[in-house]
Amino acid sequence: MLKDQHYAPRDLQFRASYQGQMASILAALAPRLQPTLAVELNGLASKLGPHVPDNISQMSKFTLARISGTETTFEDPELNYLLAISNGDFDEASKLLDHIAEGERKKAVAQCSQRLRREFF
């Protein structure tokens, strides 16, 4: 593709990263939307997944957990908190708030949690 399509090596890296992300999203959705393709898409995702840089992979873990509908926990307590909020489980989110380190960030997350509770309850 470098010669035929005039892609630079960085363009190919970006393309492979994007394809890896898309394959992971499709594999996460397949069991619910197209079960017959789940095995094939999981194989494709495992083949293309290593092309996704670590920093992008970490950001997409939350999205993949959310759309796959599976029970997932992360090492980062803030991600677990956000996942609980996105699932509408405010009681679990309150419990997870205790695991976030003290500081300005925890204070902001607690304020966000209180605001969400007022709006939805």
- The verdict on 3 and 30 lying in the same domain is yes
Q: How far apart are CA 108 and CA 71, in angstroms?
A: 26
Residue range 41-62, pLDDT digits in tens:
999 888 988 888 777 766 677 7
User: Which residues constitute the domain of residue 101?
Assistant: 73-121
Task: Record the pTM.
Answer: 0.61
Q: 15 and 61 share a domain?
A: yes
Residues 53 and 25 in one domain: yes
- Calculate the alpha carbon distances from 76 to 45, 47, 63, 99, 121 in Å: 24, 26, 15, 9, 27
**Domain boundary, last residue among 54, 69, 84:** 69
Q: Express each pLDDT in 14-39 by its tens digit.
A: 888 888 888 988 998 998 888 999 99
